[in-house]
Structure 1
Amino acid sequence: MNKPAIVTVDDDPEVLQAVVRDLRQEYGENYRILRADSGASALEALEQLKLRNQSVALFLVDQRMPQMSGVEFLEQAMSIFPDAKRALLTAYADTDAAIRAINTTKIDYYLMKPWNPPEERLYPVLNDLLDDWQATFRPPFEGIRVIGNRWSPHSHQVKDFLARNQVPYEWMDIELSKEAEQLVEYADCNKIHFPLVIFPDGSKLTQPTNTEIAEKIGLRTQAQQPFYDLIIVGGGPAGLAAAVYGASEGLRTVMIEREAPGGQAGTSSRIENYLGFPVGLSGGDLARRAVTQARRFGVEILTPQEAKGIRVAEPYRFLQLSDGSEISCHAMILALGVAWRRLDVPGVNRLTGAGVYYGAAQSEAMSCKDEEVYIVGGANSAGQAAMYFSKYARHVTMLVRGNSLGISMSQYLIDQIADTPNITVKTQTSVIEAKGETSLEAITLKNNLTGETQTVPATSLFIFIGAAPRTEWLDGVIERSDRGFILTGPDLLRDKQHIKGWNLERDPYLLETNIPGIFAVGDVRHGSVKRVASGVGEGSICVQFVHQYLSKVL
């Protein structure tokens, strides 16, 4: 934790040096001693301290200074650090002014010059002031602060990126926080450039991309080597499992993830049927544990980084990345996962990130406190989200197209939802429009049986309506089903003949694509079971097929 500061201001260099000497001697172990030779320079320093979210415990300021007196400085400093204790250093002639300052500007104390010996005339007074300050002091948040508007899609993107990458941050809504307004002023930021992201060292970015944030906080976005034994594309449960098993068995392994490790499963608020966790765990917890495990075995993780193309030049496979670079390998595993299917009704695209969200946007949970939340979908992800948001929202309404939850949701979730008084399930109901100018204000619902419609007020709509693979970038290289899922193993046989492009005498391994040495696992694979445990299983066993492939080509 950063030490709180004691700030002393005096225009006389000899006096300032003497004050600093005495303060450091008594308080240097527990406080930072900062000096300034004028009120103006001190105010500039205070603004930088505020941007770094550091604390000031005490001001010790000379009264008689040119341009700005001690009292005038303290009046302005109070607006920046209102809880700091305030003491004036005065000469005998300024005693009356000091007494008036105690009454008018809430100066805590005044000290006469000279203060020697400090053990008798300085430290006892300051000790009392510092003890009073410590009694109510609450250490500030030491991390990234994000300032913006709740209904800004760009602000939501930043919050979601940080949350999913397990980076602590503090959200400050410009509409609700006076401190946020103050920081924006000190950072000299125009509100049209929100969000403003302030880092612990006081540096800042406006409207940053995920890559800019990643570089600033130390995430790796570029590969350290041009060649690897194994490249894994995708950092969900299947990709993480493959990374752990590949690296632990001696393969030089790199994993590329376009958003954040954990994939879609990483956004799950609670996974209660994963083996070995009887009380359940969140997707974020699972991702964090898996990333720690992968890094312990030496896996290189690139995030955020996106794959854009694959080419083959025997015996190597090359992966082209979005930053224009290219890395190569002996073997590759595609663990691309799936993305939430978009709700194609009027208003939804325009309001995405401004009240309409895909998946369990846990970064928005606190903003939904005591509000009505609507959730579209009837599978496990929707049920987990309903249970999660019910802890914050006044009421949660699930909108389900089918006639019950039993079609696609696990029974344990159905039972939990039934036992939660502030969750209502509306079956045979669809959203047909989202309304609002700059943020979601209402949604129009349709009863699928009667055709009746109604428009209800809404500020938060979370959508879970199935998933689709993002595999268009594999066109012409990797064979896929008509729905875009990657074909592997037996699915590559047509009329007992290998699919076009397979050039080996042996059959493809169970998880191998039409390109020898390139495998697919998890939700992106045609015919896979869409469960976290099965993804982890496929990622784990796929490494054995990688070893078999490498034993024949190396």
Structure 2
Amino acid sequence: MAQPAILSVDDDPSVSRAIVRDLRRNYGERYRIVRAQSGDEALAALKEMKLRGDPVAVLLADYRMPGMSGIEFLEQGMDLYPAAKRVLLTAYADTDAAIDAINVVDLDHYLLKPWDPPEEKLYPVLDALLDAWVTSDRKPVTETKVVGHRWSARSSEVREFLARNQLPYRWYMSDEPEGQRLLEAAGADGMRLPVVITCGGQALVEPTDSELAHHVGLATTPASDFYDLVVIGGGPAGLGAAVYGASEGLRTVLVERTATGGQAGQSSRIENYLGFPDGLSGAQLADRARRQVVKFGAEVITTREVVALEVNGSARTVRFADGASLDAHTVILATGVSYRQLSAPGLDEFTGRGVYYGSAVTEAARCSGQDVYIVGGANSAGQAAVYLARGASSVTIVVRARSLDDSMSHYLIQQIRQNPRITVRACSEVIGVEGDDHLERITLRDNTTGRTETVEAQWLFLFIGAAPRTDWLDGVVVRDDHGYVVSGPDLVVDGKRPRGWELERVPHHLETSVPGVFAAGDVRSDSAKRVASAVGEGAMAVMLVHRYLAKP
């Protein structure tokens, strides 16, 4: 393995030479010192090292750089090397910005310039950070190869699965030379795609999510059969519950069907989450939260679908689709919501082949220079529109309502109005799609005039509301008319407690009609449907779990 790297980036040549000189003098025998004079140059070096699998121990970045500030570089650099220690070089006048960066990029330290003498002001800081890095969990990042067809629905699903689970992979087209060489080496004929080649060289032909998770190192089997707390769902509410449950000493396992992050994890940019004034992506939030969950000792189990919940005396039993089960003292339902399916001719046929539910981040690179259509008027649609407009020729938002004002946050509406690439078609809907092997045309109807129009387009992203997907809870817990789980005071109607409730006390605030089973986040009836509130409800549910365990 190559020597771990310490990367320094500063646009001032004299400062850059000085810090590299000091770094080489004290660390040159044990570490590779990499110098860059711009954020773009430093990112290019990081990406090259990432592809080679070289480890990076520390990132040092000057705060004031043209084009890309030190904070912006560290924010992008941490996505490539999340375990690398991050240091910001600042002048005295910029200390407030450095302090703000602690929240934005999880800054480990900031150094005031000049740092002379380095024996007092530089080396002790780096020695402590390097010691922490050496003792941290730094599993080598390996690369999975995915060979598929551009318009293969399953190929798209596999890429999204890997991306949402923060697993690095490289994509190869099956009709390109390198893709054909890989297929030949794997003994695959190219008719059954995708083919996934693991870092160990094992070829998986059309793998299921469960098979894929098993072979790329995700945990799919719980270590025990009994826990204090089972959290079902890995969105913001579930992650918040798992962090607080594990950090407060509860034996906690989080069960997720696909990938942690939920719908929020697919957001290109969340700008109204407290503590992150510059915003962060859903993937960044999910990755940081997942690492917190693991840090406190909770288990994270993926690709396991929960199909039933049972009450067996004081135990609550969670049953999986494969017949296995888990028992626990308490359960938190944090399954969130899924995008509703749009009913229009051709949509099912082209899903994954130009038509996507969510997935804007995964497919964004392929939309460059093209016309994109988005259906939906909530925040997820607005975030996708702003993100895709960076590279797309045009982005059209199609909504049935007269405007976005009643369904989207004000800050997003303002960004959309100020972006010349984004157009909003109000009082309209998609009534059909057409194409050969992929989407080529979309038919739109103006509901005010009744006129229809067919437009040329290869990309259609759907964000059309939410469905709780709680059919598996039918007859177990009380749900409202839309399938959302009713909890707390809402269960008591006209002074009457829910049917089957035998305890003297009334249900706790987030407790369902089954004692010891709680609901948090979007799956709960009348929830706020915001990331911050979901995280808060996850934490609050753990507090109520403790109350239940103390006195059921």
The residue correspondences of 1:436-475 to structure 2 (distance < 5 A) are 436-475=435-474
Aligned to 1:170: 170
* Offset, 1:462: 0.2
* Offset, 1:474: 0.7
Aligned to 1:540: 539
For residues 186 and 300 of structure 1, what CA distance do their matches in structure 2 show? 36
Aligned to 1:485: 484
The aligned amino acid for 1:315 is S
Aligned 8 A contact 2:244 2:539 in 1: yes
The residue correspondences of 1:226-375 to structure 2 (distance < 5 A) are 226-375=225-374
| Cα separation, partners in 2 of 1:181 and 1:195, compared to 1, 3 Å | same
Larger-gyration structure (1/2): 1
Aligned 8 A contact 2:160 2:359 in 1: no
Cα offsets for 1:368-423 (capped at 9, x unmatched):
12111110011111010001111221211111111111121111111111222211
* Offset, 1:171: 1.3
The aligned amino acid for 1:326 is S
**Identity of counterpart residues, as a percentage?**
53
Aligned to 1:434: 433
SS at structure 2 position matched to 1:258: coil
SS at structure 2 position matched to 1:497: coil
Cα offsets for 1:69-89 (capped at 9, x unmatched):
xxxxxxxxxxxxxxxxxxxxx
For residues 470 and 416 of structure 1, what CA distance do their matches in structure 2 show? 32
Asked whether 1:148 is paired with 2:148, we answer yes
Aligned 8 A contact 2:360 2:388 in 1: no
* Offset, 1:295: 0.4
The aligned amino acid for 1:518 is V
The aligned amino acid for 1:410 is S
Q: TM-score, normalised by structure 1?
A: 0.74
* Offset, 1:228: 0.2
For residues 193 and 296 of structure 1, what CA distance do their matches in structure 2 show? 39
Asked whether 1:222 is paired with 2:210, we answer no
* Offset, 1:225: 0.3
Aligned 8 A contact 2:346 2:432 in 1: yes
Aligned to 1:188: 187
Aligned to 1:128: none
The aligned amino acid for 1:151 is W
Q: TM-score, normalised by structure 2?
A: 0.74
* Offset, 1:2: 8.1
* Offset, 1:495: 2.0
For residues 465 and 149 of structure 2, what CA distance do their matches in structure 1 show? 29
| Cα separation, partners in 2 of 1:324 and 1:451, compared to 1, 3 Å | same
* Offset, 1:313: 1.2
For residues 287 and 490 of structure 1, what CA distance do their matches in structure 2 show? 31
Aligned to 1:391: 390
SS at structure 1 position matched to 2:145: strand
Aligned to 1:10: none
Aligned to 2:419: 420
Aligned 8 A contact 2:444 2:452 in 1: yes
- Number of residue-to-residue matches in the alignment: 418
Q: Please list every run of at least 4 consecutive aligned residues from structure 1 whose deviation after the TM superposition is greater than 6 angstroms.
A: none
For residues 302 and 220 of structure 2, what CA distance do their matches in structure 1 show? 5
* Offset, 1:440: 0.9
Cα offsets for 1:51-106 (capped at 9, x unmatched):
xx999xxxxxxxxxxxxxxxxxxxxxxxxxxxxxxxxxxxxxxxxxxxxxxxxxxx
SS at structure 2 position matched to 1:398: strand
| Cα separation, partners in 2 of 1:2 and 1:203, compared to 1, 3 Å | farther
Aligned to 2:550: 551
The aligned amino acid for 2:146 is V
For residues 336 and 189 of structure 1, what CA distance do their matches in structure 2 show? 37
The aligned amino acid for 1:250 is G
The aligned amino acid for 1:163 is A
The residue correspondences of 1:42-57 to structure 2 (distance < 5 A) are none
Aligned 8 A contact 1:268 1:284 in 2: yes
* Offset, 1:346: 1.0
Aligned to 1:528: 527
For residues 298 and 142 of structure 1, what CA distance do their matches in structure 2 show? 24
* Offset, 1:360: 3.5
For residues 222 and 279 of structure 1, what CA distance do their matches in structure 2 show? 38
Instruction: Point out where structure 1 has 5 or more consecutive residues left out of the alignment.
Output: 4-52, 56-140
| Cα separation, partners in 2 of 1:498 and 1:142, compared to 1, 3 Å | closer
For residues 464 and 410 of structure 1, what CA distance do their matches in structure 2 show? 15
Aligned 8 A contact 1:269 1:360 in 2: no
For residues 410 and 536 of structure 1, what CA distance do their matches in structure 2 show? 19
Aligned 8 A contact 1:2 1:54 in 2: no
The aligned amino acid for 2:172 is M
* Offset, 1:426: 1.3
